[in-house]
Amino acid sequence: GESVGLHLPTLSVQEGDNSIINCAYSNSASDYFIWYKQESGKGPQFIIDIRSNMDKRQGQRVTVLLNKTVKHLSLQIAATQPGDSAVYFCAESRDGNNRKLIWGLGTSLAVNP
Amino acid sequence: GAVVSQHPSRVICKSGTSVKIECRSLDFQATTMFWYRQFPKQSLMLMATSNEGSKATYEQGVEKDKFLINHASLTLSTLTVTSAHPEDSSFYICSARVNQENQPQHFGDGTRLSIL
């Protein structure tokens, strides 16, 4: 399944499928991007980050893709599991100002068993 | 690594009470800590940025006399909601980061504040 960014805040996938969560960022001067996972009643949990001098970075079961031309960021989750159900936020920042984060609106991922 | 502890996790109190929330970085020294507020089904809203040993920088619209922030050490920041009222009920979350390149913010598990 695939979300289309801010217009579809909910993504529902079957367990075992791959998930793609999209994010459009706002500031062309941003040079550092982070994906966070937030489970209900908890704080955001760091998943993966990427700097603007890269276009792809892989972690365990997750891949982040960065397209600076269109200011687009995506998070791919392989073999989605029920434990992946959460709200996913992208965040951008640029140098200075204590690296304040500008947050996306979030996408709720629901994994169906 | 990079564990941030926030306490208490939940507070229920009467209107007019002042409430203090603590944020601790357990295994790293946090040059900068951030305080957020989050409403249901919404993104995080930054309230203020706090650097150890200096005054906090508040975002526009956040009353500094209402939300007192103290960042006295590299591992502890506190947020005090003074004379809390029902409209202050919310989910408050802190984060901390090391002031080095490519270091993300790490978050506590939030404090659910309910003012009766």
- Residue B27 zone, left/alpha/beta (φ > 0; ψ -120 to 50; rest): alpha
* Contact call for A103 and B43, based on CB within 8 A: yes
Written as one letter, the residue type at B36 is Y
On whether the CB atoms of residues B51 and A98 are closer than 8 A, the answer is yes
- B24 touches A: beta carbon within 8 Å: no
* Contact call for B106 and A100, based on CB within 8 A: no
Per-residue pLDDT of chain A (113 residues; tens, 9 = 90+): 443 333 448 999 999 999 999 999 988 999 999 999 999 999 999 999 999 999 999 999 999 999 999 999 999 999 999 999 999 999 999 876 578 899 998 999 999 98
- Residue B23's pLDDT is what? 96
DSSP state of A43: -
Mutate to test the interface with A, among B6, B44, B69, B113 (most CBs of A within 10 A): B44
More confident position, B40 or A70: A70
CA B47, chain centre distance (Å): 8
Place of tokens 């397209």: A67
More confident position, A100 or B22: B22
- Residue A94's pLDDT is what? 85
Query: Rounded mean pLDDT of B25-40?
Result: 92
Question: Which residues does residue B74 pair with via DSSP β-bridges, in sequence order?
Answer: none
